[in-house]
Amino acid sequence: MKTNVAYLSGLSLALGLAITACNKINPIDDIKSNTKVFSPSKFKENIITALGNRPVGYNFVINHNGQWKDSAARGFARMSQDGAIPHSIYKEMNIASVTKWLTAVGAVKLLDYKGIKLTDSIYKWLPKSWKLGNKAKTITFHELLTHKAGLTTDDIRYGTDYNSLKTCIAAGVVNEAKGYNYSNVNFALFRIMFTYLNDKTGALNWESYNLSNKDTAAFSEYVSVRYLQLMQNLVFTPAEAGMVICTSEDRSKMTLMYNETTPAVAGRTVGDWKLVCGGGGYYMSAYQVAKVMAYVYHSEKVLTKAQQQVLLSNSYGLDGGHSPQTSRGKAYGKDGALMNDVNNNDKADKPDPGLQTLAIKFPGDVELVFFTNALTDGFTYYTSIMKNAYDDAWVKP
């Protein structure tokens, strides 16, 4: 595909026709201006220069005005010892916590459609069989979406499988001040709640049937599949992103994790996330994520303008640390990161393999999606690199 193909072709065509018609009626001479304009090619060049040569590699997509404008792919999704598959903006990878932004998009849309307020308590939409712990009835959707639900502390954490989430709710609010505490459980709970929010009676019937047979595994499978189906209907199908799931390609084809300092070591995988997704786990290409961003922010096929404003003004599914202030105004971003602690020292460093993802909405109707499937000496703060590359991509026409 050519790099000037529009995601929002209908909108672009309408705008093009309007401009053409206007010019025919009121032809004017071009007026040169000293006002700087955004250059996607300059942005691309700046990123490639900043990243330098990398043994493993990366890929990224640049949107402007709702269209795919430029992209790059360097290195390998799978190194030679694992079958030598080059990086591509169409090659899927586990997008890690960028999943949270997608879950937030789906949640804002579903809650609004069902007439449920973001400030409402979540407990009515949890499995009836779950025990509600300390002040669990006080937790709101808004608090989950902003990591202020009080369910975790720096020392008290939970997994995101069905039973761990059940245990989390049974413990209830352990951080009664409800200060910010980033945790995957806040978004993984939406995987459980989506089916109740969409059809509470049906969900309760399935819960009763499965759990009366003491088949927790079947019920966990049910709510996970329904989350994926609802997200497909709410987000991915309207964005024309194709079928999106939390299960990877075949092991022989999937993008693997490496460390740039030991690129010849066999790559690692992160496996199937279907039963633990919501806060992480979608397998997507950079192109797919960029396409969803274009539709979310430049049309109303996924979110209405009002819903878009709710998402951004509350930073639902976004991170303050990845929403920098640029020379053109505030950006809104979300990162993702996974690693395999091969040296068992409880931190990301050499030679741990891993991956990082980043999705940022910049001022001036610019979006960037960046993927890398390798760490160096720990995680890299790519947001700063991309912010500087963006600031320097505004040039005089």
**DSSP-derived secondary structure letter, 392:** T
- Assess whether pLDDT exceeds 50 at residue 210: yes
Confidence (pLDDT) at 23: 39
Please tell me whether residues 180 and 203 are part of one structural domain.
Answer: yes
Percent of the chain with pLDDT over 90: 88
- Assess whether pLDDT exceeds 60 at residue 19: no
Confidence (pLDDT) at 213: 86
Band (pLDDT 50/70/90 cuts) for residue 6 is low
Mean pLDDT for 20-28 is 38
pLDDT in tens, 214-252: 899 999 999 999 999 999 999 999 999 999 999 999 999
- What's the structural domain count of the chain? 2
243 inside domain = no
Mean pLDDT for 250-275 is 96
> Can you tell me the distance from the alpha carbon of 328 to that of 312, in angstroms, rounded to the nearest whole number?
17
pTM: 0.92
Name the one residue in this structure whose structure tokens are 């290195």.
75
Collect all residues with Cβ–Cβ distance below 8 Å to 160 and sequence separation of at least 6: 184, 185, 188, 191, 276, 277, 278, 279, 280
Confidence (pLDDT) at 29: 39
Confidence (pLDDT) at 8: 62
- Assess whether pLDDT exceeds 50 at residue 53: yes
- Assess whether pLDDT exceeds 80 at residue 299: yes
pLDDT in tens, 173-196: 999 999 999 999 999 999 999 999
Among 300, 241, 289, 287, smallest CA distance to 102 is for 289
- Assess whether pLDDT exceeds 50 at residue 203: yes
Please tell me whether residues 380 and 261 are part of one structural domain.
Answer: yes
> Can you tell me the distance from the alpha carbon of 385 to that of 152, in angstroms, rounded to the nearest whole number?
31
* Token code pair at residue 314: 């509350």
Please tell me whether residues 259 and 390 are part of one structural domain.
Answer: yes
Confidence (pLDDT) at 34: 67
Please tell me whether residues 225 and 128 are part of one structural domain.
Answer: yes
Confidence (pLDDT) at 161: 98
Please tell me whether residues 276 and 297 are part of one structural domain.
Answer: yes
4 inside domain = no
331 inside domain = yes
Among 197, 91, 218, 204, smallest CA distance to 144 is for 197
Please tell me whether residues 275 and 385 are part of one structural domain.
Answer: yes
Please tell me whether residues 34 and 69 are part of one structural domain.
Answer: yes
Please tell me whether residues 130 and 226 are part of one structural domain.
Answer: yes
Mean pLDDT for 147-158 is 97
2 inside domain = no
> Can you tell me the distance from the alpha carbon of 354 to that of 375, in angstroms, rounded to the nearest whole number?
5
Domain span at residue 160 reads 105-233
Among 313, 397, 395, smallest CA distance to 361 is for 313
Mean pLDDT for 38-48 is 98
